[in-house]
């Protein structure tokens, strides 16, 4: 399937995903993104990017950063923040939910990914 994206006007994902969005953030994740955005001067005018890259002990790992829109990105509104997902990551993240957890093991963003076939013991990498 070929999808063209107009770089000048980012739009939400328009492919058939049923009723599920490409990606969503819990209220905790949205709140934490706002906190980070306030504390990081370079992030003020940027969107929150969620991506997948090769690595980790299971083959793939998640990444999170503040970034500007690039050609081929999908821009998805989650609460009152915008989330960017690149073309390659989109395949792996379809239907995922990003949360922010704080517990006795530490704190950080986590991803509930319906496309993952397994993850490692550390919980930061996954297989498809």
**Average predicted confidence (pLDDT) for the chain:** 79
pTM of the model as a whole: 0.76
* Cβ neighbours of residue 111 closer than 8 Å, sequence gap 6 or more: 50, 62, 93, 96, 97, 98, 99
- List domains and CATH numbers for the chain: 23-127 (2.60.300.12)
Query: Could you tell me where the DSSP H helices lie in the chain?
Result: 27-39, 87-93
Is 55 or 42 the better-scoring residue by pLDDT? 42
56: three-class secondary structure by DSSP: coil
Q: Is the pLDDT of residue 77 over 90?
A: yes
Q: Counting Cβ atoms within 10 Å, is residue 86 exposed (0-12), middle (13-18) or buried (19+)?
A: middle
pLDDT digits (tens, 9 = 90+) for 78-111: 989 999 999 999 998 999 999 999 888 788 898 8
- Number of CB atoms found within 10 A of residue 106's CB: 7
The pLDDT assigned to 78 comes to 94
Residue 63 has pLDDT above 80, yes or no: yes
- What pLDDT shows up at residue 60? 81
**Residue 105 DSSP SS3:** coil
């Amino acid at each position: 399937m070929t999808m063209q994206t107009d770089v000048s006007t980012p739009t939400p994902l328009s492919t058939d995903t049923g009723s599920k969005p490409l990606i969503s953030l819990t209220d905790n994740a949205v709140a934490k993104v706002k906190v980070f955005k306030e504390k990081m001067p370079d992030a003020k005018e940027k969107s929150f990017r969620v991506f997948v890259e090769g690595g980790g002990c299971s083959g793939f790992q998640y990444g999170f950063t503040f970034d500007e829109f690039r050609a081929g990105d999908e821009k998805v509104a989650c609460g009152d923040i915008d989330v960017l997902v690149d073309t390659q990551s989109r395949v792996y993240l379809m239907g995922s939910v990003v949360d922010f957890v704080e517990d006795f093991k530490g704190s950080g963003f986590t991803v509930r990914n319906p496309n993952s076939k397994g993850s490692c013991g550390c919980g930061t990498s996954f297989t498809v």
